[in-house]
C-alpha cells in the first residue's frame, strides 16, 4: 500500500502567484507541500489547487513532525480552514465505522500535528489504537495487536496527564486497563473519573453507572490484588506454571471469584491440560451466574475457551453447543465463528466448515486463520 508521504512534493511559488492572495502572510521563500494523487503524477502550476496544498500540509502534520516550517503551515490552515478539527473528526469517526482504520489514523495524526495540545484528538488516537488492537486480536494477528496496544498506552498516558483534567480520558483509559486485567490501575482511573466528571447528561450518567459497577466489582472480589495481576502477566509471558502458583494462592483467599477461575482455566488450557481447564471454565460460568453481574463482558471468551477444551477432548457436540451460545451474544465474533468451522471439520463436514470461514472473511477480510483454513479445505 502506498504511503501518503510518497506522493508529497514541495514546491516554491513566486510572490505574484494567485496563492499569495489566498494564504495569509504568504511567504514565497517557504516551499508549500502539495499532495498528488500518485507518486509519479506530473504537476504544473496551472493545475495546482488550494485543496492539493491543504492536503499536503495535513500530510506534513501527520508524518513530518520535524519539518522546520510547521508553524507557518499551521497559520495557513487556521486561517483558511478554521473548522478543520470538527469537520475532519467527523470524517474520521465515519471512517472508523466503515472499517477504514488507516485513513482515520491519518486524519487524527494530521489533527494532532496541527495542535499537539488538543487532548481530545490525543484521546481519539488512543481509542482508535485500542479498537485496532482488539480488531487484530480477533483476527489472530497478535503481534500487530500488541503494537497497537502499545500505541494506545502511550496516547492514554498523554491524555490522562493533561494539564486540564479530561474526565472522558480517565473513563476510557480505565476500560482499557480493565481489558488488560490490570484491575488496580483500572479502579484508580475510574475512581478519578468519578471525582472529576462534572457534566450532567444521559451519556455521562450511563458512564458513571458503569464506572461505579466496575469499581464495586473489583473491590468486592479484590481483583486489584497483586497476585491476580502477576498471574495474568505470567500467562502473557508464557510462564503458565508460575501463573498457576499465583492464581491458586489468590483462590485460597477468594474461592468464589469467577474471574480467578477463568484465569486458572486459561493457564491450564495453554498447558493443554484439557480436563482441568474445562472444570475451571465451568466453575467460572457457575460462579459468574451467582455473582449476577460482571460476567456478561467475558461470557463469550469463557464459552470459547471451554469449547476449545471440549474440542480437544473429542466432545464436539458439546463444544458446538457452547459456541452457539456465545454466538447468540456476539453474532459477529469472528473467533467464535472460526471455531465453529474447526468443530465442523472435526465432525467431518468440510463444506459446512468452509461456510463458517467464508463468513469470517466477509466480516474481517484480514483474518489470516480463516483464510488459511479455507485454502486447506479447497485444496483437498
Give the pLDDT score at 294.
56
When pLDDT is averaged across residues 144-173 and rounded to a whole number, the result is 95
Give the pLDDT score at 121.
96
Label residue 289 by pLDDT band (50, 70, 90).
confident
The predicted-structure confidence for 214-257, as pLDDT tens digits, reads as follows 898 888 777 778 888 888 889 988 999 999 999 999 999 889 88
Query: 313 and 274 in contact (C-beta within 8 Å)?
Result: yes
When pLDDT is averaged across residues 25-41 and rounded to a whole number, the result is 81
Q: Where in the chain is the domain with CATH 1.25.40.10?
A: 116-221, 227-379
Q: Is the pLDDT of residue 2 over 80?
A: no
Give the pLDDT score at 79.
85
The predicted-structure confidence for 56-79, as pLDDT tens digits, reads as follows 889 999 999 999 999 999 998 888
Give the pLDDT score at 151.
96
When pLDDT is averaged across residues 11-37 and rounded to a whole number, the result is 74
What is the C-alpha to C-alpha distance for residues 136 and 130, in angstroms, rounded to an integer? 10
Lowest mean pLDDT across 40-54, 74-88, 120-134, 175-189: 40-54
When pLDDT is averaged across residues 153-166 and rounded to a whole number, the result is 94
The predicted-structure confidence for 80-105, as pLDDT tens digits, reads as follows 888 999 999 999 999 988 888 999 99
Q: Is the pLDDT of residue 188 over 60?
A: yes
pLDDT, averaged across the chain: 88
* 227-379 CATH, one of 2.60.120.260, 1.25.40.10, 3.90.800.10, 3.20.20.80: 1.25.40.10
When pLDDT is averaged across residues 137-146 and rounded to a whole number, the result is 83
When pLDDT is averaged across residues 266-287 and rounded to a whole number, the result is 95
Give the pLDDT score at 19.
60
Give the pLDDT score at 9.
85
The helix (H) or strand (E) run that includes residue 294 is none
Alpha helices in the chain (DSSP H): 19-22, 50-63, 70-80, 84-97, 101-114, 119-138, 142-160, 167-179, 183-196, 202-221, 226-236, 240-253, 258-270, 274-291, 299-312, 316-329, 334-346, 350-363, 368-379
The predicted-structure confidence for 299-317, as pLDDT tens digits, reads as follows 889 999 999 999 999 999 9
Q: Which residue has the higher pLDDT, 196 or 48?
A: 196
Query: 136 and 145 in contact (C-beta within 8 Å)?
Result: yes
Burial 165-198 (b: 16+ CB within 10 A, else e): ebbbbbbbbbbbbbebbbbebbbbbbbbbbeebe
Q: Is the pLDDT of residue 297 over 70?
A: no
When pLDDT is averaged across residues 332-341 and rounded to a whole number, the result is 92
Percent of the chain with pLDDT strictly greater than 90:
56
Query: 334 and 364 in contact (C-beta within 8 Å)?
Result: yes
Label residue 1 by pLDDT band (50, 70, 90).
low
* Domain 116-221 top-level CATH class: mainly alpha
Amino acid at each position: 500500500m502506498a504511503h501518503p508521504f510518497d506522493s508529497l512534493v514541495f514546491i516554491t511559488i513566486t510572490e505574484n502567484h494567485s496563492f499569495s492572495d489566498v494564504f495569509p502572510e504568504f511567504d514565497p521563500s517557504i516551499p508549500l507541500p502539495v499532495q498528488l494523487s500518485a507518486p509519479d503524477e506530473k504537476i504544473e502550476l496551472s493545475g495546482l489547487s488550494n485543496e492539493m496544498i491543504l492536503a499536503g500540509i495535513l500530510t506534513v502534520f501527520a508524518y513530518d513532525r520535524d519539518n522546520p516550517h510547521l508553524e507557518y503551515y499551521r497559520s495557513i490552515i487556521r486561517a483558511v480552514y478554521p473548522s478543520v478539527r470538527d469537520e475532519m473528526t467527523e470524517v474520521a469517526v465515519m471512517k472508523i465505522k466503515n472499517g477504514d482504520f488507516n485513513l482515520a489514523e491519518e486524519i487524527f495524526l494530521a489533527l494532532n500535528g496541527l495542535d499537539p495540545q488538543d487532548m481530545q484528538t490525543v484521546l481519539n488516537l488512543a481509542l482508535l489504537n485500542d479498537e485496532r488492537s482488539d480488531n487484530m486480536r480477533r483476527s489472530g494477528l497478535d503481534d500487530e495487536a500488541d503494537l497497537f496496544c502499545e500505541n494506545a498506552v502511550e496516547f492514554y498516558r498523554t491524555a490522562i496527564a493533561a494539564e486540564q483534567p479530561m474526565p472522558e480520558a480517565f473513563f476510557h483509559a480505565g476500560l482499557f486497563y480493565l481489558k488488560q486485567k490490570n484491575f488496580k490501575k483500572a479502579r484508580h482511573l475510574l475512581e478519578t473519573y468519578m471525582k472529576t466528571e462534572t457534566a450532567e447528561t444521559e451519556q455521562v450518567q450511563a458512564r458513571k453507572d458503569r464506572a461505579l459497577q466496575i469499581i464495586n466489582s473489583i473491590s468486592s472480589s479484590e481483583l486489584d490484588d497483586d497476585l491476580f495481576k502477576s498471574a495474568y502477566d505470567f500467562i502473557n509471558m508464557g510462564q503458565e506454571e508460575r501463573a498457576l502458583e499465583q492464581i491458586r494462592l489468590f483462590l485460597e483467599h477468594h474461592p468464589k471469584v469467577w474471574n480467578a477461575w477463568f484465569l486458572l482455566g486459561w493457564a491450564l488450557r495453554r498447558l493443554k491440560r484439557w480436563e482441568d481447564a474445562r472444570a475451571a471454565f465451568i466453575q467460572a460460568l457457575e460462579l459468574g451466574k451467582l455473582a449476577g453481574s460482571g460476567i456478561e463482558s467475558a461470557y463469550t471468551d469463557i464459552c470459547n475457551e471451554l469449547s476449545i477444551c471440549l474440542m480437544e477432548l473429542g466432545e464436539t457436540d458439546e463444544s458446538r453447543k457452547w459456541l452457539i451460545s456465545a454466538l447468540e451474544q456476539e453474532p459477529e465474533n469472528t473467533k467464535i465463528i472460526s471455531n465453529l468451522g474447526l468443530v465442523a471439520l472435526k465432525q467431518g463436514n468440510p463444506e459446512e466448515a468452509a461456510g463458517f470461514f467464508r463468513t469470517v472473511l466477509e466480516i474481517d477480510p484480514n483474518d489470516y486463520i480463516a483464510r488459511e483454513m479455507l485454502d486447506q479445505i479447497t485444496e483437498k
